[in-house]
Chain A
């Protein structure tokens, strides 16, 4: 049962701390959304989402249902328990102010108020700063709803048709997690105009993780990732 829902417009940012056992559903309301996201352990901010560890331990370049998002300490911040999109990027990072200005033109706050053209890099600096995080603490983020494939020669190809209205992804948090997020454009989005696409965030209580859980058992690596996470949580480190 959804106990909280909020809508976030395109080009905005937010952060929140989610307890173990929370389910966060992110909904692409109109299609073409991008949600940049970073994860930290609120008890030890030096433990953070590690995209390379996440990708190599699951032998994947994309994120989708069954994948777990790992910290640099071999633990799982959250599992992707449902996904109607099929491909999410975690290697292309963010647009910054210069990139936004060069590709779409800069709309300043002075003239455009809250329709200004914010960028993912600065959005993370603002949200991270609320917890004492700064330039040194940024890492490769997830870009939910965005798909970038790799050609034979290594070239990156952005797919503008990846997500549509109503598509969603469910994240089940396996330990207490600080989540930083923005809805700023993906840095490879070739749109002629500054992409500004809204999302919905829905919170609910997740069912307990069963022994035959899909994410836990999707790979032998994830069985061990859950052992590490359970150890931490059971010793009072990361949840109830």
Chain B
């Protein structure tokens, strides 16, 4: 189900393209709007949130799905922290379903999932590690790289307990938009995975836009 935004890109205070395989990290203030655009379609945005005032409080996939009693994220989902606080709420979504079970790809998990010689392929958790190392003033490290959201990724669960990585429901220009419930550090890895359909085997750019809280 589509829930379009009324915010105009021309009124955004910030716009930036994230090339495939890169990361983006920034602070979004309470009430500001963050839109992530799947520019060319079928591109996973592996996303983490941290409370900017207390980074030990961070996005919690398990608390989020338990509280909404649904494994899929979409319009209206409240993205909860490990302390049960709303870090952000999805206020627009043109896709309808996003994943928070599949985690981020890693060179180590690639060896298990695909082949031992995939060890040196670029992966989201390498981007995360570089991001927190290059921004060590934020006080983040490997222990903080917990279970993330995969915007635009489709990971259906079956009634008998199966789980698959399916072709995405997203397409060129689709987006998800959220309003921050607290000052949050946002860390996005634009997923470089080449071994499964999460990026249609062809990683492409994402774009992020930010609007100030008084835009509407």
Contact = CB atoms under 8 A, between A and B. Distances in A.
Interface of A: 46, 50-53, 55-57, 59-62, 70, 72-75, 87, 91-94, 96, 98, 134-141, 149-156, 187-188, 221-222, 224-225, 227-228
A155 B69 contact: yes
A138 B81 CA distance: 12
A153 B146 CA distance: 26
Contacts of A227: 116
Given A91-B65, A91-B71, A187-B66, A151 B159 contact: yes
Contacts of A46: 142-143
Contacts of A152: 159
A73 B116 contact: no
Contact of A228 (B56, B69, B108, B163): B108
A140 B64 CA distance: 12
7 contacts: A53-B103, A55-B102, A92-B65, A93-B60, A136-B144, A139-B147, A140-B62
B106 A74 contact: yes
A93 B112 contact: no
Given A149-B159, A154-B72, A224-B112, 20 more contacts: A46-B142, A55-B163, A56-B103, A56-B163, A56-B165, A61-B157, A61-B162, A61-B163, A72-B109, A74-B112, A91-B71, A139-B147, A150-B71, A152-B159, A153-B72, A154-B70, A155-B69, A156-B65, A156-B69, A221-B113
Contact of B112 (A141, A150, A228): A228
A234 to B, nearest CB: 15
Interface in B106-163: 106, 108-113, 115-116, 125, 142-144, 146-147, 155, 157-159, 161-163
Contacts of B177: none
Contacts of B71: 91, 150, 154, 156
Contact of B109 (A53, A59, A62): A53
A92 B115 contact: no
B110 to A, nearest CB: 8
B142 A93 contact: no
B70 A155 contact: yes
Interface residues of B, number: 45
B63 interface: yes
Given A46-B142, A92-B65, A52 B111 contact: no
A63 to B, nearest CB: 9
Nearest to A58: B163
A140 B116 contact: no
Contact of A51 (B56, B147, B164): B147
B101 interface: yes
A154 B60 CA distance: 18
Contact of A136 (B63, B69, B143): B143
Interface string B11-23: 0000000000000
A74 B108 contact: yes
A52 B153 CA distance: 14
Interface string B74-92: 0000000010100000000
B185 to A, nearest CB: 14
> What are the 9 A-B residue pairs with the smallest beta carbon separation, nearest first?
A52-B103, A93-B62, A74-B108, A62-B161, A154-B72, A150-B157, A135-B56, A154-B70, A61-B163
Interface string B163-174: 111000000000
A96 B57 CA distance: 14
B34 interface: no
Nearest to A134: B56
B63 to A, nearest CB: 6
Q: Which of A139, A154, A156 has the most CB of B within 10 A?
A: A154
A82 B139 CA distance: 42
A161 to B, nearest CB: 16
A149 B108 CA distance: 29
B36 interface: no
B163 to A, nearest CB: 5
Contacts of A155: 69-70
Contacts of B84: 96, 98
